[in-house]
Structure 1
Amino acid sequence: MKQQRVHLIDGMRGLSLFGILLANLLIFQFGIWGKDDLTLSPVDNGAYTFVKIFIEGSFMPIFTFLFGYSIVKMAESLKEKDLMVKRYFVRRFLFLILLGVLHGTFLWEGDILTFYGIFGFFLLLFINRKTKTILIWGLMMFVFTNAILLIGAGFASGVKSTDEFSASASYLEKANEIYATGTYTEIYQFRNNEDPLSDLPIALVFVIFTLSPIIMAPLFLFGMYAARVRLFTNPRDEGTSYLKATWILLPLGILMKGVGELAPINGWTDFLIGAGAPLLALGYISAFAYLYTKIANSIFMRAFESVGKLSLTNYIMQTVICTTIFYGYGLGLFGKLGVLNGIGLGTLIFVVQCIFSTIYLRYVPRGPLEFILRIWTNFSWNGHTKKKRTVTNIRPRSEF
């Protein structure tokens, strides 16, 4: 049976890109290391708190979940065509790594594509596993990662400040100047040559970068499990389940992140934020799915679907647009717009992407980067998978 595109998943992908853009605007405006060390007006401080609780860290997991979901759907499609599944994924992941390296090197330090490409190879271990096995591994890793956060919280419960885990003041000062006034070449050299973590112990840096992928692993596996059990393929039949999950996960995630962000800084706040973020992400997924059952054919949902279908192109375009607005070689608004205005700008950019994506898809079936990815993944100029060659039976010698 031919695989049908799950339009709800496209809509969720669009939703995640919107949230990722709003979260990334803190980085575009203040730098990846400067966004957590800001002096803001009361209005911007309120907007900043809103972003930290409701947005930052809770939309990237949605994209992570959908990445795992899409891997299963693509694997099923390849198996139906009797093709070599892992071979196609290896090419796909290598492309993501290459694009991510180019993106991070020449445009912006906040790239996520390299991480997804690398982690994809880990997910290949679960492509042929039983559905129950994927769920068990996802739950075990979720418990394991939260246990690490909980143990870390216990050891760091007396810590009152996170200054020792931040970039140096000299780095932040130089970054603010370079990004606000520098040329493309100056910003390129700074991004690729300066080390913001030079003052941190090497062991600590190693632990941070080792644990970060592990913390994201459960969402990948939950997405794979959801695809295996056909979740989201019949939204109207599953509406009650979406609503129940929304009522549980949304308040719990918001409560945990809210307490973590508003309470005095210590080890326990890191645990609450780290554990609450994926729960809130799952709450957003459930809420969006339930909303989809009510207004699936609305302009609103079609707009999110259109952005989601062009997710790779739209993600890179967000970088191009925002770096042009904030960096010195563009409008030079780095650090000047403010958090609240940044939310407004992000909303405007996303609306423009919704309009453009909707119009674009009326004439072209897929985005430019999506098409290049398909060409490379499928090794065909039209982007279609090649049919597996059938071997003609050889007649026995006696027939000659």
Structure 2
Amino acid sequence: MPSDVPTPPAAARDRPPLGPVPPSQRALAPDLARGTVLLLIALANGAGAFFLAAPGLESAPQGAERLYNVAMVAFVHARAYPMFAFLLGYGMVQLARRQEAAASPGAGRAVLLRRSAWLLAFGALHGILLFSGDILGAYGIVGIAVALLLLGRGDRFHRLALWLWAASIVSVAVLAARAAWLVATASGTPASMPIREMDVGWPSMEAPTYAASVLARLTEWPTQTLYLLGVVFVVWLGVWAARHRVLEEPARHRRLLAWTAGVGLTAGVAGGLPMGLFSAGWLHADAPAAGALKALYEASGQLGGIGYVALFGLIALALENRRPAARRPKAVGAVVDALTALGQRSLSGYLIQSVAWLVLVPPFALGLGTASGSTAFTATACAAGVWLATVVAADQLRRRSLPGPAEVLLRRLVYGRRN
């Protein structure tokens, strides 16, 4: 743990773990980011559900569908999950710091292990019963690893995360150069979209019955979980940032946030744009070049996700310092409050999305995934509508000082009945 964590007083060392942080004590930036990134997750998972694969893209785009493919690859796919992973690592340190300061030594690690184990269990049920594009299982596994291997380490050890960040920037530059060379020299038959051998497929969304979809997800969910374990580096970077209170004290870290947002978002968009142009049919690439484009898009996504987090740190700083809550326009304050409310109930908001895909897409339900018309338009409209519904619902819960239902269950399992 960081050196600035206070040593618990003797009378507090045998206390049971504290419950969750009250909303009034939460930092704005992480919750605002979580609430907003759920829109990106809705767009990504909605596209995956409708197009039966991740990343979800139109395989033969026409007209505006070409722009849809470009925008999804440059701004959404492989960028939302790393952002959530960073916030996972950040939140783990916040939770552990609070436990270590007020309860017994080792309470933080114990609570994190219980919470991560339950997240893994939630992920298994979620991925098998609802939607195989699950992130909770992978985050549970990564959380257990972080609690066992990273907590309690010193600053020198955690600076390795910064070296990995620098190395990832260099690797993205190398991948970009390689992709540019392969595209420039491509002479073979143009590769088709999607690149099936490199996609994570979701055939469960076209299963004829719910029972058949569950059977399909029994194999899809483990594959998806293994695929997402690569976010451990981003989680570690979130751990480093939390140790230095980067999002809780954005004014002290304005330059770092600005630099990270600039580099991360530039790399994320520039690294995804060639793949987006290829998926839109505007860039020729044979099989080797297409593989290089996809590798670049995936690697740059982690930088883009971190850039998004830094951007929200700057937005929170502007909201808190330049325009205090009492002086904000009423509409701005209402939007910020609603997005923050969803961020504080992000687990419920995320799970509700999966219920929506199960109701909207498969042929045994509403069957919109097999309906005629523009799939890109349908996927986008459904994703935005579902996210907006969760924003409104979370804001109503905020007004009544109520947590989300999934948060209530997880807290009961982690902290016990007393919390």
Q: TM-score range by the shorter chain?
A: 0.7 to 0.9
Question: Which residue is equivalent to 1:386?
Answer: none
* Larger displacement relative to structure 2 (305-314 or 31-40): 31-40
Choose from 357, 364, 373 the match for 1:329: 364
Shift of residue 142 of structure 1? 6.5
In the alignment, the residues of structure 2 paired with residue 291 and residue 6 of structure 1 have an alpha-carbon distance, to the nearest angstrom, of: 13
* Displacement of 1:143: 2.6
Cross-structure match for 2:292: 268
How far apart are the structure 2 equivalents of 1:258 and 1:365? Answer: 42
| 1:202 alignment partner in structure 2 | none
Equivalent of 1:251 in 251, 257, 266:
266
- Give 1:223-234 correspondences, 5 Å limit: 223-234=238-249
2:310 maps to what in 1? 286
Determine the structure 1 residue equivalent to 2:211. Answer: 185
- The verdict on how the C-alpha distance between 1:162 and 1:46 changes in structure 2, with shifts beyond 3 A counting, is closer
Change (3 A) 1:340 1:259: same
Is the partner of 1:57 in helix, strand or coil?
coil
CA contact (8 A) 2:79 2:268 kept: no
- The change in CA–CA distance for 1:142 and 1:27 in structure 2 (over 3 A counts) is farther
CA distance in 2, matches of 1:103, 1:293: 35
Number of the residue aligned with 1:135:
159
Is residue 102 of structure 2 the alignment partner of residue 81 of structure 1?
yes
Q: Gapped runs of 5+ residues in structure 1?
A: 198-204, 384-400
In 2, distance between residues paired with 1:375 and 1:142? 40
User: 2:336 maps to which residue?
Assistant: 301
* Structure-2 separation of matches of 1:275 and 1:182: 36
Residues in 2 aligned to 1:196 and 1:120: alpha-carbon distance in whole angstroms: 18
- Residue of structure 1 in register with 2:116 after alignment: 93
Aligned equivalents of 2:308, 2:165: Cα separation in 1: 21
Deviations 1:334-387 (A, max 9, x none): 144511332232222212211110111222442121122112112x2032xxxx
Over the matched positions of the two proteins, sequence identity in percent amounts to 20
CA distance in 2, matches of 1:102, 1:181: 18
User: What RMSD, in angstroms, separates the aligned Cα atoms of the two structures?
Assistant: 3.6
What CA distance in whole angstroms lies between the structure 2 residues aligned with 1:64 and 1:18? 15
Aligned counterpart in structure 2 of residue 119 of structure 1, from 142, 145, 149? 142
Q: In terms of mean alpha carbon deviation, does 368-377 or 235-244 score higher?
A: 235-244
Amino acid at match of 1:166: R
Q: Is the 8 A contact 2:265 2:303 kept in 1?
A: yes
Deviations 1:151-199 (A, max 9, x none): 899699579648897269xx98x94xx7457222232233336x799xx
Stretch deviating more after TM superposition (327-336 or 88-97): 327-336
Larger radius of gyration: 1
Q: Equivalences for 1:157-176 in 2 at 5 Å?
A: 161=191, 166=196, 175=203
- Cα 1:64–1:372, aligned 2, differ >3 Å: closer, same or farther? same
> 2:37 aligned with 1:16, yes or no?
yes
Is 1:25 the counterpart of 2:46 in the alignment?
Answer: yes
Report the AA paired with residue 19 of structure 1.
L
Taking a change above 3 Å as real, the CA distance of residues 142 and 67 of structure 1, as seen in their structure-2 partners, is: farther
In 1, distance between residues paired with 2:410 and 2:73?
33
Tell me, in whole angstroms, the C-alpha distance in 1 between the residues paired with 2:209 and 2:27: 44
Cα gap change, 1:189 to 1:322, in 2 (>3 Å): same
CA separation in 2, counterparts of 1:222 and 1:231? 11
1:35-80 per-residue CA deviation (whole Å, 9 max, x = no partner) reads: 3572233212221221111111111111000000001011101101
Partners of 1:346 and 1:196 in 2: CA distance? 21
Pick from 393, 396, 404 the counterpart of residue 359 of structure 1: 396
Q: Secondary structure at the match of 1:319?
A: helix
For 1:184 and 1:356, locate their aligned partners in 2 and report how far apart those are by CA, in whole Å: 27
Q: Is 2:121–2:137's contact at 8 Å kept on the other side of the alignment? A: yes
2:229 maps to 213
Could you tell me the TM-score, scaled by structure 1's length?
0.80
CA distance in 1 between counterparts of 2:379 and 2:47 reads 8
Residue 328 of structure 2 aligns with which residue? none
Matched residue type, 1:295: L
In the alignment, the residues of structure 2 paired with residue 196 and residue 65 of structure 1 have an alpha-carbon distance, to the nearest angstrom, of 22
State the 1:138 CA deviation: 5.0
Q: Distance in 2 between matches of 1:231 and 1:141?
A: 16
| Cα 1:138/1:374, change in 2 over 3 Å | farther
d(CA) in 2 for partners of 1:306, 1:196: 29
Following the alignment from structure 2 to structure 1, what is the Cα–Cα distance between the partners of residues 71 and 178?
27
How far, CA to CA, are the matches of 1:299 and 1:189 in structure 2?
Answer: 43
Say if 1:15 and 1:135 are closer, same or farther in 2 by CA, change over 3 A.
farther
- Out of 334, 348, 363, the residue aligned to residue 385 of structure 2 is 348
Closer, same or farther: CA 22–34 of 1 in aligned 2, 3 Å: closer
CA distance in 2, matches of 1:60, 1:100: 15
Q: How far off is 1:85 after superposition?
A: 2.4
Alpha-carbon distance between aligned partners in 2 of 1:211 and 1:15, rounded to the nearest angstrom: 24
Unaligned runs of 5+ in 2: 1-5, 7-17, 278-282, 326-332
Q: Does the aligned pair in 2 maintain the 1:141–1:217 contact within 8 Å?
A: no
1:238 Cα deviation from its structure 2 partner = 4.3
- Please list the CA deviations of residues 232-252 of structure 1 after superposition, one character each: whole Å capped at 9, or x if unmatched: 213345445433433333223
Is the contact made by 2:98 and 2:108 (CA closer than 8 Å) also made in structure 1? no
> May I ask how many residue pairs the two structures share in their alignment?
367
Higher mean displacement: 262-271 or 356-365? 262-271
Structure 1 residues 31 and 276: CA distance shift in structure 2, 3 A: same
Mapping of residues 136-155 of structure 1, within 5 Å: 136-140=160-164, 143=167, 147=171
